């Protein structure tokens, strides 16, 4: 007798898909997963009932959009050359304070801020510090796609009880999100760059939605300890060769999760490196409308070259970047 499989049974046979099992490797299993960090931020401030918040001038405009949509008052503060608030403000009633762990270099600054402010009024942005665990009692944001091979994703580590958000259901959009990844795999980064920009633009909508199932599956199948150690190794090697020229004070003992190796010198070298097939990120031109030319933030935009140090590359790749930089020193 032939039995008929119920429609709810998993599919058997046919073509192969992603051969990924849910290995349950994700380091933040209790974090709420969103399509982007800005969507996570929107959901957080909406549920906290924030009336006013202090934001750093050195931040991308996309993190201000949720506040504008929710009619939350924004107050800005400057940072000094150690990335610490230049004049830490006194918080009034119903005011919050957001601090970015810039480039994963600011762990010690975070501990200082925890002594200055009530923990429940602090929000830490770990978009540039994925491997730093959230501090207990502090709402913390993450952007895994800045560190890992996913096209979307934002995390919120919070004890706040919040309603579930909607799932992205358009399968065509989900596949298109990853088009740049496949183009880089079969051709080059340059050939997929237009697709990457298109995927990024789709995240401009900060209305909270869940992370895509593709990205969630990938995040559950990565060896995070290996990725972290390889990134640290590359960062330390770059610093061993370039540290004496770098005008940013870097304490290697306090580094756990570097985003890039930020090299501050008398000129920015990013455009010169493109001809060498070194594509360095930039942060954040849109903040220039908020800062003056004598500020540290202005230097960060105009004078810092962000050398790549992530897990995709080895010591030879780090040395290649160093060799190109040394031609200008």
What is the structure's pLDDT at 276? 92
List C-alpha distances in Å: 179 to 188, 194, 201, 216, 302.
12, 10, 14, 17, 32
Residues 6 or more apart whose CB falls under 8 angstroms from that of 133 comprise 27, 28
Q: Residue 85 — φ and ψ, nearest 5°? A: -55, 130
Q: What pLDDT does residue 87 have?
A: 93
pLDDT 10s digits, 257-311: 999 999 999 999 999 999 899 999 999 999 999 999 999 999 999 999 999 999 9
| Tokens read off for 208 | 């909270």
pLDDT value at residue 172: 65
pLDDT over 70 percentage in the chain = 83
Q: Are 19 and 40 in contact (CB under 8 A)?
A: no
Confidence band (pLDDT; 50, 70, 90) for 168?
Answer: low
pLDDT tens by residue, 196-229: 666 566 666 778 999 988 899 899 999 999 999 9
| Backbone angles phi and psi of 141, in degrees to 5 | -105, 145
Confidence (pLDDT) at 166 = 79
Contact 141, 208 (CB under 8 A): no
How far apart, in whole angstroms, are the C-alpha atoms of residue 81 and residue 302? 14
Q: Give the angle 236-237-243 at the CA atoms, nearest 5°.
A: 75
pLDDT > 90 fraction of the chain, expressed in percent and rounded: 73
Confidence of residue 54 (pLDDT cuts 50, 70, 90): very high
pLDDT at residue 323 is higher than 90: yes
- Cα(35)–Cα(212) distance, rounded to whole angstroms? 7
pLDDT confidence of residue 200:
61
User: Which domains does the chain carry?
Assistant: 32-219 (3.40.640), 224-326 (3.90.1150.10)
| pLDDT tens digits, one per residue of 10-46 | 555 555 555 666 667 899 999 999 999 999 999 999 9
**pLDDT, tens digit (0-9, with 9 covering 90-100), for 242-251:** 999 999 999 9
DSSP string, 76-113: EE-B-TTSSBSSPPPP-TTEEEEEE-GGG--HHHHHHH
3-state secondary structure of 271: helix
Q: How many other C-beta atoms can be found within 10 angstroms of the C-beta atom of residue 168?
A: 18
Q: What is the pLDDT of residues 283-297, one digit of tens each?
A: 999 999 999 999 999
Tell me the whole-structure pTM to 2 decimals. Answer: 0.89
Give yes or no for a contact between 127 and 142, defined as CB atoms under 8 angstroms apart: yes
* Whole-number Å distance between alpha carbons of 143 and 281: 15
pLDDT for residue 25: 82
More confident residue, 187 or 294: 294
Q: Provide φ and ψ at 164, rounded to 5°.
A: -65, 150
Tokens of 13: 């046979």
H or E segment to which residue 155 belongs: strand 154-157
Q: For 106-163, how does the pLDDT look when each residue is reduced to its tens digit (9 = 90+)?
A: 999 999 999 999 999 999 999 999 999 999 999 999 999 999 989 899 999 999 999 9
pLDDT at 190: 76
């Amino acid at each position: 007798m032939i039995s008929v499989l119920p429609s709810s049974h998993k599919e058997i046979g046919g073509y192969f898909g992603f051969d990924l099992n849910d290995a349950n490797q994700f380091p933040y299993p209790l974090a709420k997963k969103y399509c982007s960090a800005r969507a996570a931020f929107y959901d957080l401030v909406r549920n906290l009932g924030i009336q006013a918040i202090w934001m750093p001038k050195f931040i991308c405009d996309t993190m201000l959009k949720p506040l504008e949509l929710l009619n939350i008052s924004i107050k800005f503060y400057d940072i000094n050359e150690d990335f610490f608030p230049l004049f830490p403000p006194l918080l009034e009633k119903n005011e919050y304070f957001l601090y970015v762990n810039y480039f994963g270099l600011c762990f010690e600054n975070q501990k200082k801020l925890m002594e200055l402010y009530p923990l429940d009024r602090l929000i830490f942005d770990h978009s540039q510090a994925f491997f730093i665990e959230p501090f207990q009692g502090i709402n913390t944001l993450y952007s895994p796609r800045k560190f890992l091979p996913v096209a979307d994703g934002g995390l919120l580590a919070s004890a706040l009880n919040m309603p579930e958000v909607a799932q992205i259901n358009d399968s065509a959009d989900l596949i298109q999100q990853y088009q740049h990844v496949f183009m880089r795999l079969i051709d080059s980064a340059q050939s997929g760059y237009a697709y990457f920009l298109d995927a990024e633009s789709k995240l401009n909508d900060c209305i909270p939605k869940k992370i895509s199932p593709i990205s969630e599956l990938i995040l559950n199948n990565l060896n995070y300890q290996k990725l972290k150690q390889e990134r640290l190794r590359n960062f330390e090697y770059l610093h061993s060769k370039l540290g004496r020229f770098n005008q940013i004070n870097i304490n290697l003992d306090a580094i756990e999760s570097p985003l890039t190796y930020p090299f501050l010198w008398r000129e920015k070298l990013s455009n010169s490196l493109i001809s060498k097939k070194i594509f360095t990120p930039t942060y954040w031109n849109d903040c220039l409308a908020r800062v003056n030319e004598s500020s540290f933030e202005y230097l960060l935009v105009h004078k810092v070259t962000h050398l790549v140090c992530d897990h995709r590359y080895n010591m030879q790749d780090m040395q290649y970047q160093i060799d190109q930089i040394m031609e200008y020193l």
